Amino acid sequence: MYNSVIIPGKNWILSLAELIAFLESRECKFKILSFSKEYFIVCFEKKIDFSIIDGLGGIIKIGEIKTTFSTDILDKAIVQKDKPSKKEIENIFADTTIIDDLISSTKKIFFGVSVYSSEKRFRKIAKVSHRFFGSIIKRKLSEHGQKSRFMGFSKDRKLPQLSHVEVLKKGLISNNAELIIGIGKNRIWVSITKAVHNPFEFQKRDVYKPIQRKIFGIPPRLAKALINLSSCNQGSSLLDPFCGVGTILQEGLLTKSKVIGVDINPWCIKSAERNLEWLSKEYELTKPEYRVLQGDIKDLSKKMGYNEIDCVATEPDLGPALRQIPTTPYANKIIIKLDKLYSIFLNETYKVLRKDGRCAFVTPYLKTRSGQIVTMNVDEKTKNIGFRRVFPFQRENFEKISSTKEEILKINSLIDTNERHKIGREIHIFQK
């Protein structure tokens, strides 16, 4: 068994759902041992290729777990300042390969420690824990005659955590030089960072592609999450029937799927083609398979064969760009106006999707001036067509799940909002 710590992005529920869909579609056997906003502990049946992080939109770091011990020991060592417990932790570290992996040919090793705690109680002592773990490593390295420098934080840093950009810029991955300490209710997980999310690559695909569309474009990280939620994998045929300038198609091509885009707007079709051409060159893709077609969603099944598509990932029209937070009546009006388009989209998608194929799509999620949430109810439409809703979290994904955390199994759609945007997204997954 191979245990990993996985640090999610800000929208951790979406990150966890994406991770599960990604692993399942690749038939990778796993169990989630623990999950929280701060980190997930995942047990894999086989060793994983840490570069999977590049295929995930919502995962920030992946670490290989080296040891685990009871939270009580840390409690005694740090809160009660108990010397034997401090020694015990030091011995636990000595029994791992952490120090051997760190020792290098360089004169002075530069290393960092990031502490993530799912428990409020331990978040308060995260900075003390950070210094405690750092000093253990420094002392052990010195016992091996190795000089080192422990990366500290400025006082104003709220949590003692290195960002993925810091880890990348300091080159900590290749030297096994970032330690991730996950502090949970009962267990501490000690791991070495093996992969981090590369924001520069996502940024490149976002702002350096030849044609951009600021208002209606989906961020590449979310596009990636959406295609993973549709269970898209290498070789799958992936359709985006509202492809715009092709952001979702781009991420699909990088997954090595065969992508097909449709949009009513001829400018979008030309732009998507240019962007895909650019991406293929930029990423040196051998034999990229893509097709972009101009057309109205109502004619989708006339453009392609029935049951031809393996997965659909799309963001249809979300209504007009909003300058202000809408009133509740206006938000309701937006939803009603979009209703017909979504009905046609779901009907047509059902026809072209193969049996068991999945469709991950976005509907608007509007927070109104009075604080109400206005969303689109797609349950009746999808049920009448024959679609089955996929709940992102299943009991069998988890080793065991405490009663306080069981709520996650009831989640049926994923919400993505941020302060800057007036229109949030609700992501649904349906299966034919």
Residues that bind ligand SAM (CB under 6 A): 213, 216-218, 242, 244-245, 247-248, 263-265, 268, 296-297, 315-318, 341
Q: How far is the CB of 296 from ligand SAM (least distance, A)?
A: 4
Give me the amino acid identity at 265: N
Q: How far is the CB of 207 from ligand SAM (least distance, A)?
A: 13
- Enclosing H/E stretch for 349: helix 328-352
Q: Dig out the tokens for 415 from the structure.
A: 């919400």
Scanning 109-187, the segments in alpha helix (DSSP H) are 120-123, 126-143, 164-169
Q: How far is the CB of 407 from ligand SAM (least distance, A)?
A: 31
Question: Measured from the CB atom, is 38 or 348 closer to ligand SAM?
Answer: 348
Length of the chain: 432
Question: Measured from the CB atom, is 9 or 319 closer to ligand SAM?
Answer: 319
Q: How far is the CB of 267 from ligand SAM (least distance, A)?
A: 9
Residues whose CB falls within 8 Å of the CB of residue 215, separated by 6 or more in sequence, listed in order: 321
- Interaxial angle between packed helices 247-254 and 199-207, expressed in degrees from 0 to 180 and rounded to the nearest 10: 140
Scanning 170-307, the segments in alpha helix (DSSP H) are 199-207, 220-229, 247-254, 266-282, 300-303
Q: How far is the CB of 263 from ligand SAM (least distance, A)?
A: 5
Q: Dig out the tokens for 160 from the structure.
A: 């003692």
Question: Measured from the CB atom, is 179 or 318 closer to ligand SAM?
Answer: 318
Question: Measured from the CB atom, is 194 or 221 closer to ligand SAM?
Answer: 221
Question: Measured from the CB atom, is 20 or 218 closer to ligand SAM?
Answer: 218
Give me the amino acid identity at 134: G
Question: Measured from the CB atom, is 58 or 112 closer to ligand SAM?
Answer: 58
Tell me 395's DSSP state.
G
Question: Measured from the CB atom, is 233 or 275 closer to ligand SAM?
Answer: 275
Q: Dig out the tokens for 392 from the structure.
A: 């992102």
Please calculate the CA angle 398-66-131 and round it to the nearest 5 degrees.
110
Residue closest to ligand SAM (Cβ)? 244
Beta bridge partners of 42: 4, 32
Q: How far is the CB of 47 from ligand SAM (least distance, A)?
A: 35
Q: How far is the CB of 385 from ligand SAM (least distance, A)?
A: 18
